[in-house]
Amino acid sequence: MNKIAIVGAGSMAEAFISGILENGLIERKNIWVTNNANQARLAYLEEQYGIQSSYDLNALFDRADVVMLAMKPKDAASAIEYIRGHLSPDMLIVSVLAGVSMDAIETLAVKPLSIARAMPNTSAAVGKSATAIAVNSRVTDAQLETAKQLFATVGLASFVEEDQLDAVTGLSGSGPAYIYYLIEAMEKSAVEIGLDKQMGKELIVQTLIGAAEMVKNSAKSPEQLRREVTSPGGTTEAGVRVLEEHGVQEAFISCIKAAAAQSKKMGEALCSQLQVGKTS
């Protein structure tokens, strides 16, 4: 990657800027960013990261071999139509637009493009995203490697088929919110059982980190790990029994299915508006 032009300057764009620089993927002078009209935001990114920003499309896209689409999905149509004269088939178009299919992007651009469509999550801000990437048939081996390197700067990256991205959205795209919801409940319980709020938070966070590391590094299944710490008649068994009585596991399954279904619904609605057919 020689130069990246990022269209959109929100938190996801900033996460990638930070990740690219921390990993030394390209020099600061070769990271360019623009947005619709928020000059203060561009000025902040310039000052914070030493990158370039511009509303001059000729300067923005000149010699750019990677273009990231990071605007809000609702702004995708107008933004892509605005910049399409500067997009070329030899560029790698990287999209982090939820619900916007690769066919939709090509239709809006009115030309064939090499596209990598990805679903990162908000943990990209701390370099811990779980990202799924789909590419179209025009992506070359070199561009595929570029996509791998780019998304590795913000966490774990895996390749999937595009029709799996709605499922990914429901699972890991929205996943951080489910964990935050769980932490909220654990923090409330910590206070109710008499622990200091800050101490409770520290214990909860470390417990989650430790459990995640156990699952990551152990050959045992989560169910097996759970059973090993659930002694008959013990404290863990008492707690898990309550979770089972309230159907917590089933609720989480329903939650993820609902989010995946909503992702598919939103994508189909958007593509219907664009008259390009259904997305994944």
Is the pLDDT score of 195 beyond 80? yes
* HSE-up (13 A, CA, CB side) for residue 241: 9
Q: Tokens 């923005």 map to which residue?
A: 60
The pLDDT assigned to 113 comes to: 97
> What residues does each domain of the chain span?
4-165, 173-257
Cβ pair 140, 147 in contact under 8 A: no
Other beta carbons within 10 Å of 79: 21
In the DSSP assignment, the letter for residue 43 is H
| Cα–Cα separations (whole angstroms), residue 105 to 78, 101, 177 | 11, 6, 28
Residue ranges in 86-194 assigned as alpha helix (H): 102-109, 141-152, 165-168, 175-192
pTM across the whole model: 0.85
Q: Which fold has domain 173-257?
A: ProC C-terminal domain-like fold (1.10.3730)
**Cα R_g (the chain), whole angstroms:** 22
What is the percentage of the chain residues whose pLDDT exceeds 90?
87
**What's the gap between Cα 27 and its chain centre?**
23
The pLDDT assigned to 105 comes to: 93
Helix and strand element counts for the chain (H, E): 12, 8
The pLDDT assigned to 279 comes to: 40
Lowest pLDDT segment from 3-7, 125-129, 190-194, 242-246:
125-129
The pLDDT assigned to 179 comes to: 96
Q: What amino acid is encoded at 275 in this protein? A: Q
Q: Which fold has domain 4-165?
A: Rossmann fold (3.40.50)
Q: How far apart are CA 21 and CA 44, in angstroms?
A: 16
Other beta carbons within 10 Å of 190: 19
